[in-house]
Structure 1
Amino acid sequence: MRTVDMTAPSFGLDNRINTCREPTVKDTLQSSTYATGTESSKAVDGCITQRYSSGCCMHTATDGRSSAYWAVDFNENIVIESIKIYYRDEPNTNQQKSRFGGYEIYISNSTSILSPCYEDTVSTISAVDLAPSITSCTGSARYLGVYVERSSRAYNWYSFSAVLEICEVEVYDCADGTFKSGTICDSCSSNCIGSTCDINTGECSACIDGFHGSTCDQLCSIGCSTGTCNQATGQCDGACSSGYYGAGCDSACSDNCLNGECEQYTGTCGACYDGYYGDTCSLSCSVKCATLACSQNGGKCSACSAGYYGIQCDTACPSNCLAKTCNQDDGLCLGRKTTSKNVLRASSNIAAIPRVEKGAKMALKNYVLFSED
């Protein structure tokens, strides 16, 4: 187990690390320093020129040490997706390749680094890449280190002492279209506008039409007439489609609403189909309504079947009403039946009139007094 002491003095605010998103100032350190102007911060200053004369490269001592390292502290866990290293590259590249060959990369959440996530194993000096892109060191980490070991030499072309000459290290966090999900970079929802999202939470800044929610994973109601809704609340952006109501237009109007239409926020029907009444046309008109039609407010029948009266035609007309018909509002008969007692009474009244002309008597006799016994 190798340990990198990250408690060594920092080198000031010029220690920045290049990332693909939100680059921030970071602390770096190295095992030794070759000369002034070759400190660890040179590997994160944004300069990728691979010449020592450019002043862009960190450089450890060349005094025969068996190991050398360079390390960075991100100050918090980040999700690493890839690493790009720019090593010193001079016209006589074999010297740099002999020093860089067999390098190892470590990532860890602590300063106790257990095993490398990448190890250079090329067997020939010509195969050493002085500007490698590393994609195998992925995951969540706070620390990253580059290490060379020369206590033993795997190949005779390796340098005898451990030296590092790194001009730039770029560490790429989750790329556009991905976000940090535990120890990996997960894809943003395809329902996010542009398929991009917050790198830390995965939340979408806006949704494509038809979706809502922080990650745009919920469908807008099919009742939204525009097919779009508020990302946070799911409320339809416009009116409801015919047949739906509610803030989210996700409730169906009553089947008894005329043409299936109702008020958007309350669900009150504009009108009812014949046979129903009430705000949502959920109540049945009285079966005694002549046409099975009644007023939406209160259920008053437009007319009663023969023999009934009242608002809902639920009271029988008096039995002596002619043809069992009476006034719908008060139940007064529209005509009364003729009885034998009435006829006799009428005849007596006619006989008691002495001076009535014959024609008038006959007319009076034929008159039936419609009054109850």
Structure 2
Amino acid sequence: MVAILNLDPCLRFIAKCSSFATENLSRRKTTIITQSSTYNVNNATLANDGMDATTELKCAHTAANHSKAWLQVDLGTPFRIRNVVIYYRKEGDGSNDWKQYRFRQFYLDVSDLPVTQTTTAERTRCYTDNTTAPNLPPNIIDIPCKQTARFVIVETTYDAPEDDPQKGAVLEICEIQVKGCGCTKTSGVCTSCMDGWYGYTCDETCAAGCSLRCDQVDGNCSCKPGWGGYDCRECSPFFYGESCKEPCSTDCVQGICFGNNGSCIKGRSLENSKREFTQYLMYVFAGLFGINLSLNIFLTMRAKTCKQETEESTNMEENQYQQIELADLNPVAVEIAEGEPVYENIRETRDVCEMPHYETLKYSA
């Protein structure tokens, strides 16, 4: 337990910083990049312009005829470093294209003191390249370097045979990225978080409604359209929905609604309520009118049908009696005639059509 408490504070927070606060420390405004010498106009700042092109005009370039060449990244204060990515000059893959010959046997050191005040023995070594001619190291290399330091130094004493008759060590670094945790060595408090995170150890997420990076201490930020609240975690009064993109109904009083479901906070406006109620009554009356019209049409059609059926039944009845008379009023014939199906149907039709609810329509029709 004592050993853990005596650890560098940045080491104690490394799990959180590694996951949530890793950034390119080289691109911080307080970072300064220098080199041992400069060839033509290829100054050191080209290695920190955010461009990873590897052609000559895009690269920092030291001058020839020096026994040692270096490029230094001064972070301004010690930071917890995770890895360093270097983009070295390479013009192409053709046989006549210039390649990373001068990158052989370089080394990467970190230190709390600048390169001009230290020797390689006084620094912490992160990497040494052992490539020999005619082989070439990769021109883009990602080097693990889990150290806490202020200065990151790329240095070489290698004299590439491809430079003959020119002599001396040369560096041509197009871009250098120092990835690490913005965490001070003395307190372990993160001085900078990746986009989307905040807090002293960068373990809190910024709200979904933040338009840009949120404040590192309290998470406060500028809100995207539709979002509101102190930290942009809720919809503004005029929008609702999961992403706060749906505008509140214009029927809501003052146009404001609840962010979760869009229902009006202060109710619906009186004018809109009256209009909706009037529309509702119109729908009700229209429905009742439609039902009444349909019922009248049905009863009228039914009355006409009954009248027609009654007339037909009367004619059939007269024909039946005529048949009975033709049978010389034979009692047997009358009994048979009254029992025939036609006569029974006539009586059923009369019974149905003479029901009370058809009487008025029957005589009016």
* TM-score with structure 1 setting the length: 0.40
Q: Greater relative contact order (Cα 8 A, min sep 6): structure 1 or 2?
A: 2
* TM-score with structure 2 setting the length: 0.40
